[in-house]
């Protein structure tokens, strides 16, 4: 397979759904998790959006992201309560109907004791027409995939288990490898040299990240590339530059 096949670059968008993230009540843990996860399997997370529990906002964001990226992942809003409107919004985004899905109902019926599959719980079996279910080993109520969109729970433990269920079905690109060089100087001291190295190694992505440690400013320089030789050459150049400014 040549480097130039489209499969080399597989991209993703992530949509976090929930008023509780935007009000600050809940601190999101899913963005960092998914970013690490996708990087590890060779998918580039290119965009994240956080939207409230409002149908129009969810529909607009899903439609924007699914048109742009290989895959879209969503978290949140698939529980049993009135504010869980993700499944209905995804159906609206795809222009398909939604109803109680017999496969999802069977999973829930097997999970809850006789007579306890209430109307509220049955809401969690509402799945857009044409979707595949995503297994939920933690609390059973499934997520689903429709087109390139993967709809998952917002509770981190459940979302993480769902990603493990999804991962084997995803096509992945060539992994972006990275090296990190620590520089014990503010980033403005190395900026000119790093810029020149970036220009010399256009196939690499060089990022410079300022840190504060006890009021001192230091810098982490991260070199990323899909080609190992390029990665090593650019990393050596960065290490030399850092030695020069700290000498």
Binding site for a second copy (CB under 8 A): 16, 19-28, 31-32, 35-39, 44-53, 57, 79-84, 118-121, 123-124, 138-139, 155, 157, 176, 178, 187-192, 194-195, 198, 205-212, 217, 222, 224
Task: Copy the structure tokens of residue 123.
Answer: 């809401």
The alpha carbon dihedral of 225, 228, 233, 237 has a sign of positive
140: left (phi over 0), alpha (psi -120 to 50) or beta: left
Q: Which is nearer to a second copy, 146 or 193 (CB)?
A: 193
What secondary structure letter does DSSP report for 135? -
Shortest separation between residue 24's beta carbon and a second copy, angstroms: 3
Q: Which is nearer to a second copy, 1 or 119 (CB)?
A: 119
Q: Which is nearer to a second copy, 39 or 230 (CB)?
A: 39
Q: Which is nearer to a second copy, 89 or 208 (CB)?
A: 208
Shortest separation between residue 130's beta carbon and a second copy, angstroms: 26
The alpha carbon dihedral of 36, 14, 165, 42 has a sign of negative
CA distances from 49 to 21, 28, 57, 84 (A): 11, 12, 10, 18
Shortest separation between residue 17's beta carbon and a second copy, angstroms: 11
Q: Which is nearer to a second copy, 146 or 153 (CB)?
A: 153
Residue with tokens 């222009």: 95
Shortest separation between residue 157's beta carbon and a second copy, angstroms: 6
CA angle (25 as vertex; 19, 28 as ends), nearest 5: 75
Give the integer Cα–Cα distance in Å for 55 and 53.
7
Shortest separation between residue 50's beta carbon and a second copy, angstroms: 4
């Amino acid at each position: 397979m040549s480097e130039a096949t489209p499969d080399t670059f597989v991209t993703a968008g992530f949509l976090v759904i929930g008023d509780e993230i935007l009000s600050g009540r809940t601190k999101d843990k899913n963005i960092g998790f998914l970013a690490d996860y996708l990087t590890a399997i060779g998918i580039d997370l290119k965009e994240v959006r956080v939207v409230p529990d409002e149908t129009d906002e969810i529909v607009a964001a899903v439609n924007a992201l699914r048109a742009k990226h290989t895959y879209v992942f969503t978290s949140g809003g698939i529980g049993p309560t009135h504010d869980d409107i993700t499944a209905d919004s995804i159906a609206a985004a795809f222009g398909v109907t939604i109803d109680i899905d017999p496969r999802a109902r069977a999973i829930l019926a097997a999970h809850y004791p006789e007579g306890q599959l209430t109307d509220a719980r049955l809401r969690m079996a509402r799945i857009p027409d044409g979707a595949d279910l995503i297994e939920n080993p933690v609390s059973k109520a499934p997520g689903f995939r429709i087109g390139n969109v993967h709809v998952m729970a917002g509770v981190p433990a459940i979302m993480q288990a769902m990603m493990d269920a999804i991962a084997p079905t995803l096509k992945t690109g060539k992994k972006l490898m990275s090296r990190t060089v620590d520089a014990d100087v503010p980033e403005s001291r190395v900026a000119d040299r790093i810029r020149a190295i970036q220009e010399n190694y256009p196939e690499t992505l060089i990022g410079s990240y300022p840190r504060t440690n006890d009021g001192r400013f230091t810098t982490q320089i991260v070199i990323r590339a899909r080609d190992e030789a390029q990665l090593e050459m650019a990393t050596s150049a960065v290490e030399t530059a850092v030695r020069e400014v700290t000498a």
